[in-house]
Amino acid sequence: MIRKATIRDVKPIYNILKAYADRGELLPRAISELYDYLRDFNVYEAEDGHVIATCALHVCWEDLLEIRSLAVVEDYQGRGIGSQLIEAAFEDAKSLGVGRIFTLTYQQDFFEGHGFRVIDKSTLPKKIWAECIRCVKFPDCDETAMLWVR
């Protein structure tokens, strides 16, 4: 079941993201940052009530959103959960009236399967780079920038 994240979900979200961040596959997120951006997050809750996946849709500008922190616990991968979270993000974007979403990712094939296309990072607004400066990989980012347009 996909639902909006609540305060009680912050630590499970943190733990899911940390597993990927420790391997360099996602940007690490501090717990304080997760509280700051909690309203951006949807979670996927398993039948037993545990949060097993997460995805954030962040407003960057009046006409641009970002999908970030998309992660599914490894034991649950391959079941379409990530795809369901992407579809929920598309619905959220529609309700916000925004038709452009970008992501920075190592999972190019996954995002291409959802209609994203590769773009040059330099085409993204400078505002976005303010967060990149905090990344351990800055300025040598090896992620692929991708854009979805409705």
Q: How far apart are the first and last CA of the chain?
A: 25
Between these two residues, 64 and 132, which has the higher pLDDT value? 64
pLDDT at 121: 84
Q: How far is CA 13 from the centre of its chain?
A: 12
Domains for the chain: give ranges and CATH numbers. Answer: 2-149 (3.40.630.30)
Give per-residue pLDDT as tens, 43-99: 999 999 999 999 999 998 889 999 999 999 999 999 999 999 999 999 999 999 999
pLDDT at 126: 65
Tell me if 67 sits within 8 A of 40, measured CB to CB: no
pLDDT at 26: 87
Q: Is the pLDDT of residue 123 over 90?
A: no
Between these two residues, 138 and 144, which has the higher pLDDT value? 144
pTM for this predicted structure: 0.91
* Banded model confidence at residue 128, pLDDT cuts 50, 70, 90: low
* Banded model confidence at residue 135, pLDDT cuts 50, 70, 90: low
| Strands (E) located in 22-138 | 41-45, 51-61, 64-72, 100-105, 117-118
